């Protein structure tokens, strides 16, 4: 019997359908025209046409961050592919599961400097978890299956599948594998039992414990386990920028974010603890500052991570545990519950007393009586008006830090930002991706006037899909974080950090068919936010808050300094 043969283009679309993809973000072009012709004919998933390929990848990335599913984007060869690279690197640095399909010139033209040819596999090699060039249509379905499998398992990451145009025309029998196994790729999920026992024992011996969680808790769906463990032990907890929402921020056991712009209590407790449990975090430079300074205080460290190469990379660890963070934490909790021993109460009490002294310094205080709009105030009001229930995306800079510090995230997957690569231009397309996934959710993009202009063209995509997201622009006229560093470390020489010909954002929003509002008085902040989420609930509202141009992000640990060397105000 003759099985039905499909073209490569039909196979790509069938694979996505059979993988359960519901949203595909992309931009057509010559090399992917066959695939787009098949996209046109199907109805299993929606294709969202962006206005720049970078935005397609950011949207797919944020879609993945918000839903936990693999995000999918498609771009054409050459410039389409290179435009996607920033988005791919962004996802790579934050370990986001994503599959990017890129068109390629026909196999016979590869290497000939053909029109719109670029070595996509070569150009993305350092910023993907893995990539493939499919040279034979018979390998196409299994390669796409592998791409999804690799992207989603172990430490997640983006996978590129580069498909030459002739492969999309060739035919073969379509058979999408249900599962795939690879001898060279077998991520560990179960932690080592002996190590887990040691970890539980060490936690019980702690006199000044600290629990430090990162993006791995969000990616590994381990928030419930973190909450259970922290409450079971009564230990203080902190989170990295990427881990926010993994433990509810308003909870008294939570000390706030740590790191370069972390709270005093989180950074000091991190520095002075005697037993540190790190979960799905990687001790990066923005988190612990100078590793030599960090190592000055003696402490024993337990580190749970799915990626062995994250363990003992920057900081020596005493008890490494490689495995799925949720599974490992379940095991730790089980052991602690079975054990009659409890952490030493007196020591823990004294430790908390010390922490409360640090906390009493109220390092996130700011001038609430100011006549100008304080950016922190806008975020606090955003939190109030949305009752903490919004998905908040951000760009990169001061506004990002204020959003992280003042929006009290209490659920995972609500805080969506580019932590590792620090990509300006991420916020708006990210908000699109989230709003596509959750059409009825409140989605706010907290941004700056520098960042928003890096992907502002997506306001057009938002119009096409009637995405009612809210742009919260903290407009201080400066590339604020650059200005802050210039103020502190370059004797106030503000080289190219002031933008003196900004567009009229209200007219701009209007031109794209949205609602634009400028707010320049503190008393108008809350009403504007209420209008945005109330009266204009179904519209994209672009809120242009004119904020204090001299406000800085505090606390701050200067680059290369240690956790206890914070600048406070």
Partner 1 sequence: MENESGALSRVAGLFSARGYNIESLTVAPTEDATLSRMTIVTRGSADVIEQITKQLNKLVDVVKVQDLTDGSHIERELMLVKVRATGDQREEIKRLTDIFRGRILDVSDKTYTIELTGRGSKLDSFLEAVDPTAILETVRTGASGIGRGDRIMKI
- Contact residues toward partner 1 (CB under 8 A) are 121-122, 125-126, 129-130, 133, 150, 182-185, 307-309, 312-313
Q: How far is the CB of 154 from partner 1 (least distance, A)?
A: 9
CB 531 within 8 A of CB 525: no
Residue 518's DSSP bridge partners are: 544
Q: Which is nearer to partner 1, 183 or 493 (CB)?
A: 183
Give CA–CA dist 401/394, Å, rounded.
9
Give CA–CA dist 525/106, Å, rounded.
55
Q: Which is nearer to partner 1, 184 or 346 (CB)?
A: 184
Q: Which is nearer to partner 1, 132 or 383 (CB)?
A: 132
Give CA–CA dist 114/415, Å, rounded.
42
Q: What are phi and psi of 191, to 5 degrees?
A: -75, 160
* DSSP H stretches of helix in 480-554: 480-489, 505-511, 522-533
Place of tokens 């908040």: 392
Q: How far is the CB of 175 from partner 1 (least distance, A)?
A: 21
Computed on alpha carbons and rounded to an integer, the radius of gyration of the chain in Å comes to 24
Could you tell me which of 320, 286, 285, 288 has the C-alpha nearest to residue 304?
320
Give CA–CA dist 150/367, Å, rounded.
49
Q: Which is nearer to partner 1, 162 or 331 (CB)?
A: 162
Q: How far is the CB of 135 from partner 1 (least distance, A)?
A: 9
Q: How far is the CB of 83 from partner 1 (least distance, A)?
A: 22
Q: How far is the CB of 55 from partner 1 (least distance, A)?
A: 27
Q: Can you say whether the dihedral through the CA atoms of 184, 189, 193, 199 is positive or negative? A: positive
Question: Residue 329: which H helix or E strand, with range?
Answer: helix 325-338
Residue 474's DSSP bridge partners are: 448, 545
To the nearest 10 degrees (0 to 180), the angle between helices 193-205 and 325-338 is: 60
Q: How far is the CB of 125 from partner 1 (least distance, A)?
A: 5
Can you say how many angstroms the Cα of residue 258 is from the centroid of all Cα atoms in its chain?
Answer: 17
Give CA–CA dist 390/411, Å, rounded.
10
Give CA–CA dist 361/356, Å, rounded.
9
Beta strands 254-257 and 71-75, pairing class: unpaired
Place of tokens 């990162």: 214
Q: Which is nearer to partner 1, 95 or 225 (CB)?
A: 95
Q: Which residues are catalytic?
A: 53, 115-116, 165, 481
Q: Which is nearer to partner 1, 122 or 439 (CB)?
A: 122
Beta-strand runs (E) in 111-241? 130-133, 158-164, 171-173, 209-213, 237-239
Place of tokens 């690799």: 150
Q: Which is nearer to partner 1, 169 or 309 (CB)?
A: 309
Quick check: helix, strand or coil at residue 318? coil
Q: Sheet harboring 275-279: ordered strands across?
A: 254-257, 237-239, 209-213, 275-279, 300-305, 319-322
DSSP per-residue string spanning 430-459? HHHHHHHH-TTS-EEEEEETTTGGGSGGGH
CB 75 within 8 A of CB 30: no
């Amino acid at each position: 019997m003759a099985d039905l043969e499909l073209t490569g283009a039909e196979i790509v679309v069938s694979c996505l359908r059979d993988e359960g993809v519901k949203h595909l973000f992309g931009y057509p072009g010559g090399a992917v025209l066959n695939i787009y012709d098949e996209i046109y004919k199907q109805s299993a998933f929606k294709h969202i046409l962006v206005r720049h390929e970078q935005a397609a990848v950011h949207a797919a990335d944020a879609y993945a961050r918000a839903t936990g599913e693999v995000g999918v984007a498609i771009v054409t060869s050459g410039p389409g592919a290179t435009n996607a690279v920033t988005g791919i690197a962004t996802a790579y640095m934050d370990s986001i599961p994503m599959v990017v399909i890129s068109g390629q010139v026909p196999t016979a033209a590869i290497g000939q400097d053909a029109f719109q040819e670029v070595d996509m596999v070569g150009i993305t090699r350092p910023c993907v978890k893995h990539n493939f060039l499919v040279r034979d249509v018979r390998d196409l379905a299994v390669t796409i299956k592998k791409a999804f499998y690799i992207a989603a398992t172990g430490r997640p990451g983006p996978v590129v599948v580069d498909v030459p145009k002739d492969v999309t025309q060739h035919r073969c029998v379509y058979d999408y594998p249900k599962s795939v196994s690879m001898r060279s790729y077998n991520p560990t999920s179960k932690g080592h039992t002996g190590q887990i026992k040691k970890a539980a024992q060490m936690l019980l011996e702690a006199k000044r414990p600290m629990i430090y969680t990162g993006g791995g808790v969000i990616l590994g769906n381990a928030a419930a386990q973190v909450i259970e463990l922290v409450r079971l032990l009564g230990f203080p907890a902190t989170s990295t920028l990427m881990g926010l929402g993994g433990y509810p921020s308003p909870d008294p056991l939570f000390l706030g974010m740590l790191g370069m712009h972390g709270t005093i209590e989180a950074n000091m407790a991190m520095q002075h603890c005697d037993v540190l449990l790190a979960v799905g975090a990687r001790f990066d430079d923005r988190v612990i500052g100078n590793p030599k300074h960090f190592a000055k205080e003696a402490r024993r460290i337990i580190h749970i991570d799915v990626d062995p190469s994250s363990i003992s990379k920057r900081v020596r660890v005493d008890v490494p545990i490689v495995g799925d963070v949720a599974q490992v934490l379940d095991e730790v909790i089980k052991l602690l519950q079975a054990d009659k021993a409890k952490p030493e109460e007196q020591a823990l009490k004294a430790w908390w007393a010390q922490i409360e002294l640090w906390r009493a310094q109220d390092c996130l205080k700011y001038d609430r009586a100011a006549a100008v709009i304080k950016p922190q105030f806008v975020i606090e009001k955003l939190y109030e008006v949305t009752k903490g229930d919004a998905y908040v995306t951000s760009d990169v800079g001061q506004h990002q830090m204020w959003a992280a510090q003042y929006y009290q995230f209490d659920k995972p997957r609500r805080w969506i930002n580019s932590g590792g690569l620090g990509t300006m231009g991420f916020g708006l397309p990210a908000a699109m991706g989230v709003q596509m996934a959750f059409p009825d959710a409140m989605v706010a993009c907290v941004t700056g006037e520098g960042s928003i202009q890096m992907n502002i063209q997506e306001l057009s995509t938002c119009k096409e899909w009637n995405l009612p997201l809210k742009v919260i622009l903290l407009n201080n006229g400066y590339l604020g974080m650059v200005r802050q560093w210039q103020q502190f470390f370059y004797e106030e020489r503000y080289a190219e950090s002031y933008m003196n010909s900004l567009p009229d954002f209200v007219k701009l929003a209007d031109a794209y068919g949205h609602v634009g509002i400028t707010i320049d008085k503190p008393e108008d902040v809350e009403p504007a936010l209420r209008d945005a989420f109330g009266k204009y609930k179904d519209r994209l509202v672009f809120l242009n808050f004119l904020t204090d141009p001299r406000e800085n992000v505090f606390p701050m640990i200067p680059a290369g300094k240690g956790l206890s060397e914070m600048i406070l105000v």
